């Protein structure tokens, strides 16, 4: 009984280690832009790509893959920590603190508090984190009992239904339709799939789970099921009248719990990383400091549209697709939709560093134009170029990760 129970705990640990500012906010953007098809285009590759990790790798392949990927695994953790720090500062001032005079305080204070608390927890051992992951995953649905949770969602659903009835009789209503058509989503889908297939292989928390769980497949099957349920729960916070999350103590508590968990486990991986994959503390500190700086109002609200104070952003058919600060959110997201897929295809295959940098230089404007300006037909270009370049070079490194992943 101990073996399956321990494996289930590792699966729940992965659920909370992977529930971060992508899973806790990108669903709202996808629902706003494309409705439920957009949400499913995000959720299905996410869940399947991550759960497949425990079925493709065993302990030995996981260790070999980490060795092959080297410092890029630590880079993944460093960027992930910086992304959470930025999101914590931005979300606090954008959604929680109404007083403009306090925005700079929370923009820097909240990320710093998050990092300090994460460092305080990072030194704990596997047994603690197995239990913490279990508690965090089980506790997350309980936030629905807080103000702004299940009751508010039911009221919003009822109001939306009433509005639909009124609309059928010719009355106006505040319910919005998806802002973009299906074709831009179709062009974005390859990047979404590539990101969720490639990024898990750099995640040291996943490697820890697959190496420590007595039954990795049980762990990652548990992870897939519970993570899918987590994403569905997060989607219930979507406010169709504003195109933004429904803010209240419920979602704030969920953000705080899961951001802290993610930051702490990735700090732990950086501190415990083997010399062969470790990156020095200075680049990590510089990356995190830059993220905290970018969260201040002087930076984060200069990218994106200007909206009225209190921003009920998309009510009444406003044409704005991204809220202030969301372009920067989408830029951070490029690490997982552009950087790590290209690294998995080229850098770890033994490609010349100049080839990898060249593909990334080509891919960055393609990604940004697709993610921010919705010219999504450009988004698959860098991954396609990387695949063609990798094929043209052949198998220069017989120990590259694609070989490690094969039986």
3-state secondary structure 56-88: HCCHHHHHHHHHHHCHHHHHHHHHHHHHHHHHH
Is residue 310, in this structure, part of any structural domain at all? no
Q: Do the beta carbons of residue 34 and residue 242 sit within 8 Å?
A: no
> At how many degrees (to 10) do helices 381-393 and 182-198 cross?
50
Is residue 311, in this structure, part of any structural domain at all? no
Give 55-112 pLDDT, tens digit per residue.
Answer: 999 999 999 999 999 999 999 999 999 999 999 999 998 888 878 788 888 989 999 9
Number of domains in the chain: 1
| Sign of the C-alpha dihedral computed for residues 326, 328, 331 and 333 taken in this order | negative
Residues 196-213 have a mean pLDDT of: 96
Rg (CA), the chain: 21
User: In which domain, by residue range, is 292 found?
Assistant: 2-168+177-304+317-405
Q: Could you tell me what percent of the chain has a pLDDT over 70?
A: 84
- Which runs of consecutive H residues, i.e. helices, occur in 92-125? 103-122
C-alpha span between 110 and 21 (Å, rounded)? 15
Residues 125-135 have a mean pLDDT of: 95
Least confident of 208-217, 289-298, 325-334: 289-298
User: Between residues 31 and 397, which one has the greater pLDDT?
Assistant: 31
Res. 48: pLDDT tops 90? yes
**Which residues, in sequence order, are CB contacts of 214 under 8 Å at separation 6+?**
2, 3, 4, 6, 7
C-alpha span between 294 and 190 (Å, rounded)? 29
171, with CB counted inside 10 A (0-12, 13-18, 19+), is exposed
Is residue 371, in this structure, part of any structural domain at all? yes
Supply the CATH number for residue 292's domain. 1.20.1740
C-alpha span between 310 and 308 (Å, rounded)? 6
What was the pLDDT predicted at 310? 45
Is residue 35, in this structure, part of any structural domain at all? yes
CA distances from 178 to 85, 243, 312, 376 (A): 30, 9, 16, 16
Task: Indicate the helix (H) or strand (E) that contains 239.
Answer: strand 238-239
Is residue 365, in this structure, part of any structural domain at all? yes
C-alpha span between 267 and 120 (Å, rounded)? 10
Name the residue among 54, 26, 50, 36 with its Cα closest to residue 228: 50
Task: Give me the DSSP letters along 242-299.
Answer: TTEE--SHHHHHHHHHHHHHHHHHHHHHHHH--TTT---HHHHHHHHHHHHHHTSHHH
Q: In 3-state terms, what secondary structure has residue 235?
A: helix
User: Between residues 271 and 320, which one has the greater pLDDT?
Assistant: 271
| Sign of the C-alpha dihedral computed for residues 127, 129, 130 and 136 taken in this order | positive
Is residue 125, in this structure, part of any structural domain at all? yes
Res. 269: pLDDT tops 60? yes
Q: Mean pLDDT, the chain, as a whole number?
A: 86
pLDDT band, residue 165 (cuts 50/70/90) = very low
Is residue 209, in this structure, part of any structural domain at all? yes
Name the residue among 327, 72, 284 with its Cα closest to residue 198: 72
Is residue 312, in this structure, part of any structural domain at all? no
CA triplet 115, 278, 210: central angle to 5 degrees? 85
CA distances from 402 to 66, 70, 195, 208, 245 (A): 12, 14, 16, 20, 39
């Amino acid at each position: 009984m101990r073996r399956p129970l321990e494996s289930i705990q590792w699966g729940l640990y992965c659920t909370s280690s992977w529930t971060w500012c992508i899973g806790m906010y990108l669903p709202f953007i996808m629902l706003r832009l494309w409705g439920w098809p957009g949400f499913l285009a995000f959720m299905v590759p996410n869940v399947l790509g991550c759960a497949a990790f425990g079925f493709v790798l065993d302990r030995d392949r996981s260790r070999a893959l980490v060795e092959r990927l080297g410092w890029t695994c630590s880079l993944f953790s460093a960027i992930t920590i910086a992304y959470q720090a930025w999101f914590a500062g931005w979300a606090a001032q954008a959604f929680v603190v109404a007083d403009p005079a306090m925005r700079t305080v929370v923009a820097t204070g909240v990320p710093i508090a998050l990092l300090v608390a994460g460092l305080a927890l990072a030194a704990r051992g596997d047994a603690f984190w197995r239990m913490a992951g279990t508690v965090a995953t089980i506790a997350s649905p309980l936030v629905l009992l807080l103000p702004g949770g299940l009751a508010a969602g039911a009221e919003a659903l009822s109001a939306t239904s009433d509005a639909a009835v009124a609309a059928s009789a010719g009355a106006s209503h505040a319910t919005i339709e998806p802002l973009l058509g299906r074709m831009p989503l179709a062009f974005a889908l390859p990047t979404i799939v590539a990101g969720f297939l490639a990024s898990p292989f750099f995640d040291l928390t996943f490697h820890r789970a697959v190496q420590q769980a007595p039954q990795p497949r049980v762990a990652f099957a548990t992870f897939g099921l519970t993570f899918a349920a987590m994403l569905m729960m997060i989607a219930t916070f979507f406010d169709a009248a504003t195109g933004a999350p429904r803010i209240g103590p419920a979602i704030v508590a969920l953000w705080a719990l899961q951001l802290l968990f993610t930051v702490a486990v990735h700090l732990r991986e950086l501190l415990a990383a083997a010399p062969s994959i470790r990156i020095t503390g200075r680049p990590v500190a510089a990356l995190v400091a830059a993220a905290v700086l970018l969260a201040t109002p002087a930076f984060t609200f200069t990218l994106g549209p200007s909206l009225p104070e209190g921003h009920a952003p998309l009510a009444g058919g406003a044409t704005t697709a991204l809220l202030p600060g969301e372009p920067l959110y989408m830029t951070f997201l490029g690490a997982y939709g552009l950087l790590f897929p290209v690294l998995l295809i080229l850098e770890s295959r033994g490609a010349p560093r100049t080839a990898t940098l060249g593909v990334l230089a080509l891919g960055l404007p393609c990604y940004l134009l697709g993610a921010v300006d919705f010219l999504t037909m450009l988004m698959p270009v860098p991954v396609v170029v990387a695949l063609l370049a990798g094929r043209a070079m052949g198998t220069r490194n017989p120990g590259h990760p694609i070989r490690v992943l094969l039986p």
